[in-house]
């Protein structure tokens, strides 16, 4: 009987028989690759080969953990751990005591003068979900929420099918992700919901329920409704609208509609107080010297153009690119965008490139961005440029293979064009 052969790294044919005289030469190796110093190889060459194996573990495994531990201690010392979570904790305590979690508009502005006391600006659902945590002291609840935020970060690429461990380590080094962990507002949960929306894109009820839940928490992802309608997911769009409206009414009913009539005024006060410090195209235009009217018009025009692109690309059946564009539209049309919002880029990157590639490194360029607002014109422009570059490259590298829906659309087009 013939004997199978294998090649070593230099191309020499070696007998695969484990009793052959070549076996000791490969002893202690993995997959037949000789890791011992090669004949004539310099010490520098050996060092480079060893470093190439150790570097990913050091920089994408150990460094993110060290960074998180160091930053958490710094946040704790400065008293800014889960700084936004305090809004939900305070609102939850107010609900349990029978008080109105929403102060008057005048009271809201007064509270916002203190950087560590913020009025609650969200719908009731997030505060209601937070009520079980009020059995814990605030410090313990903050530690629990910080841990949960890290787990949510890991869950975002996981539900999108990313299995390359290096992507997880790199994601934990992104400045917007670190900012989202530090603030601990609903941003990461909404990003996870967006990831689930993509995962459930062929399951109408689950998709609609996921999108509807995001609307009841925060209206940031409302452009997803446009994507649902444009891609002919009518059942999902109806379910999303019903779930979103139902949860809003139910959550407000549970607090006897306290603050319901004054809620629009609180939203206006929020935008008036913080809108000038946000990472928005309108603010960049103002910094460049444009008038408020022209800046607003340009901001809205870009957002509407992106929604139009969602419709056009969806009609072509290109689900993947349409989904990435709709995330860009959510950024463009939001009047308030903070550094942590750009954690949504993780969804676009994971959808476009599920294995480690250059796209995962681009958001690291946001290291100059401030997480607390008040960016300089350069920082605001640079942050938006990096976000736009990330989304543009995600569209560029998105796999050309059609989605299941695209296959169905193409099949229908061929059937229509076929001679009778």
Q: Are 329 and 303 in contact (CB under 8 A)?
A: yes
Asked whether residue 233 is assigned to any structural domain, the reply reads: yes
For 134-146, how does the pLDDT look when each residue is reduced to its tens digit (9 = 90+)? Answer: 999 999 999 999 9
Q: Write out the DSSP string of 161-224.
A: T---HHHHHHHTT-HHHHHHHHH-STHHHHHHHHHHHHHTTT-HHHHHHHHHHHHHH-GGGTHH
Q: Of 74-88, 214-228, 326-340, which gets the smallest average pLDDT?
A: 74-88
Decide which of 264 and 326 is more confident. Answer: 326
Q: Which two tokens stand for residue 53?
A: 């194996």
The predicted pLDDT at position 382 comes to 94
Residue 351 DSSP SS3: helix
List the beta bridge partners of residue 7.
Answer: 13
Split at pLDDT 50, 70, 90, the class of 26 is very low
Q: Higher confidence at residue 271 or residue 181?
A: 181
Taking the chain, what is the end-to-end CA distance rounded to the nearest angstrom?
60
Domain carrying residue 232: 47-356+363-403
Between CA 88 and CA 124 the distance in angstroms is 9
pLDDT for 163 equals: 95
Work out the percent of the chain whose per-residue pLDDT is above 70: 78
For residue 17, what pLDDT band results from cuts at 50, 70 and 90? very low
Residue 200: pLDDT over 70: yes
Residue 195 · residue 347 · CB < 8 Å: yes
Residue 404 scores a pLDDT above 70:
no
Segment 172-197 shows an average pLDDT of 96
Q: Can you tell me which residue has the tokens 């009539």?
A: 261
- Is the pLDDT confidence value at 418 over 70? no
> What predicted TM-score, i.e. pTM, was given to this entire model?
0.82
Token digits for 203?
């399951």
Facing residues of 164 across strands?
Answer: none
In a domain, 30, yes or no: no
Query: Is 2 a residue whose pLDDT tops 50?
Result: no
Q: Flag the least confident range among 11-15, 149-153, 231-235, 368-372.
A: 11-15
Read off the pLDDT band of 12 (50, 70, 90): very low
Asked whether residue 56 carries a pLDDT value surpassing 80, the answer given is no
Q: Return the minimum-mean-pLDDT range out of 12-26, 87-101, 200-214, 282-296.
A: 12-26
Number of domains in the chain: 1
* Residue 10 domain-assigned (yes or no): no
Q: What's the whole-number mean pLDDT along residues 368-394?
A: 88
Residue 49, Cα to own-chain centre: how many angstroms? 35
Instruction: Note the pLDDT tens digit of each residue in 267-311.
Output: 888 888 888 889 999 999 998 899 999 999 999 999 999 999 999
Average pLDDT, the chain: 84
pLDDT of residue 50: 65
7 domain-assigned: no
pLDDT of 115 over the 50 cut? no
Q: What are the structure tokens assigned to 384, written together?
A: 């938006």
| Residue 194 included in any domain | yes
pLDDT of residue 195 exceeding 80:
yes
State residue 312's pLDDT score: 96
pLDDT tens per residue across span 318-347: 999 999 999 999 999 999 999 999 999 999
Note whether residue 16 is domain-resident: no
| Sign of the four-CA dihedral 332, 196, 177, 88 | positive
Residue 19 located in a structural domain: no
- The answer to whether position 8 is within a domain reads no
């Amino acid at each position: 009987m013939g004997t199978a052969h294998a090649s070593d790294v230099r191309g020499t044919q070696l007998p695969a028989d484990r009793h052959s005289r070549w076996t000791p030469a490969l002893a202690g190796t993995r997959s037949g690759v000789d890791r011992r110093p090669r004949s004539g190889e310099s010490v520098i060459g050996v060092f480079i080969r060893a470093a190439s194996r150790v570097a990913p573990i050091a920089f994408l495994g150990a460094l993110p953990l060290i960074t998180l531990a160091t930053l958490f201690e710094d946040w704790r010392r400065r008293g800014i751990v889960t700084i936004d979570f305090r809004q939900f904790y305070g609102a939850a305590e107010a609900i349990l005591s029978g008080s109105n979690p929403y102060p008057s508009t005048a009271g809201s502005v007064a509270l916002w003068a203190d950087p560590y006391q913020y009025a609650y600006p969200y719908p009731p659902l997030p505060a209601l979900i937070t009520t079980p945590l009020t059995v814990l002291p605030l410090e313990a609840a903050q530690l629990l929420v910080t841990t949960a935020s890290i787990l949510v970060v890991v869950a975002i690429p996981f539900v999108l099918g990313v299995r390359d461990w290096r992507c997880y380590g790199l994601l934990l080094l992104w400045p917007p992700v670190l900012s989202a962990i530090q603030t601990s507002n609903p941003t990461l949960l909404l990003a996870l919901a967006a990831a689930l929306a993509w995962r459930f894109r062929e399951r109408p009820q689950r998709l609609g329920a996921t999108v509807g839940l995001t609307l009841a928490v925060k209206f940031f992802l409302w452009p997803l409704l446009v994507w649902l309608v444009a891609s002919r997911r009518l059942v999902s769009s109806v379910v999303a609208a019903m779930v979103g409206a139902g949860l809003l009414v139910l959550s407000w009913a549970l607090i006897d509609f306290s603050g319901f009539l004054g809620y629009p005024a609180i939203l206006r006060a929020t935008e008036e107080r913080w809108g000038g410090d946000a990472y928005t195209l309108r603010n960049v235009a103002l910094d460049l010297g444009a008038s408020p009217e022209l800046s607003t018009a340009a901001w809205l025009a870009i957002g509407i153009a992106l929604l139009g692109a969602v419709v056009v690309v969806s009609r072509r059946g290109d689900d993947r690119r349409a989904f990435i564009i709709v995330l860009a539209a959510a950024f463009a049309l939001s009047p308030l965008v903070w550094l942590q919002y750009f954690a949504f880029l993780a969804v676009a990157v994971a959808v476009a490139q599920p294995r480690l590639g250059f796209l995962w490194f681009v958001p690291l360029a946001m290291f100059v961005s401030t997480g607390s607002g008040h960016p300089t014109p350069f920082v605001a422009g640079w942050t938006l440029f990096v976000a736009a570059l990330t989304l543009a490259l995600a569209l560029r590298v998105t796999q050309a293979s059609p989605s299941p829906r695209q296959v169905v659309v193409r099949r229908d087009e061929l059937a229509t064009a076929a001679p009778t």
